Amino acid sequence: MFNRPATVAVVPIRSFSGAKHRLSDALDATGRERLSRWTANNVLDALDGFDVLVVTDDEVVASWARTRMCDVLSPGAPGLNKAAAAARTRLTGDGVDRMALIHSDLALPRSLPAALSQTGAVIVPDLSADGTNVLVLPVNSQVQFGYGPGSFRRHLDRCLADTSVGSIVIHRDRRLGLDLDTAIDLRHPLVANLIEEVVT
């Protein structure tokens, strides 16, 4: 149970071994697992000083999260939206004020504290302004999670429609906006050399 911190970082992780199937044309299974572990560790390193809730049904991920001093929640149902909803239910019961949903595949997450320190709702879109890489909401908001293609616009519209959200910040950050979904992402000049070292 969290001791009522202002903001809890929520990091959903399905698994390491089965992660990133969309990169199968660029990386073999071992490379994808190494990449997933590397980005997840980077995200937790960037969240030093924050309470972190890792949401997973995978025992390997859960064990890893506990070694990183994170709390763990099993969502009991597949999908990112289910994981986010389960985390909100848990944090509501713990009396937490705000939750920050953060993708675990951010290669360059060091500026996360700056995004999380802003007041109100915060949305960090991906580089194409299609997905939502970071979403910070009051735990008591009624915003329904809408991850998937077009989630940035969907989350923005839902935040605008919810008067309990208060102010809304669109936080554009080219590093936080860089998630690793495609082979093109792996070749981005900010991370290409780093990733080559990780996966080989």
Please compute the mean of the pLDDT values over residues 136-152 and round it to a whole number. Answer: 96
Residue-range domains of the chain with CATH? 7-199 (3.90.550.10)
Q: What is the pLDDT of residue 138?
A: 95
* Per-residue model confidence as pLDDT tens digits over 6-38: 899 999 999 998 877 788 888 889 999 999 999
For 39, residues 6+ apart whose C-beta sits below 8 A from its C-beta are 104, 105, 106, 107, 109, 180
Give the count of alpha carbons within 13 A of 75, CB side only: 22
Q: Which residues contact 84 (CB under 8 A, 6 or more apart)?
A: 10, 12, 55, 101, 145, 147
Q: Kindly state the tokens that stand for 142.
A: 């009624």
Q: Which two tokens stand for residue 153?
A: 């616009």
Backbone angles phi, psi at 94, to 5 degrees: -85, -5
Rounded to 5 degrees, φ, ψ at 112 are -55, -45
Query: Which pLDDT does position 67 carry in this prediction?
Result: 97
Determine the Cα–Cα distance for residues 156 and 73; give it in Å rounded to an integer: 26
The pLDDT, as a whole number, for residue 5 is: 64
Mean pLDDT confidence for 111-129: 94
pLDDT band of 196, cuts 50, 70, 90: confident
| C-alpha to C-alpha distance for 1 and 171, rounded to whole angstroms | 30
Nearest Cα residue to 181 out of 62, 63, 21: 21
Query: Which tens digit of pLDDT belongs to each residue from 38-97?
Result: 999 999 999 999 999 999 999 999 999 999 999 999 998 989 999 999 999 999 999 999
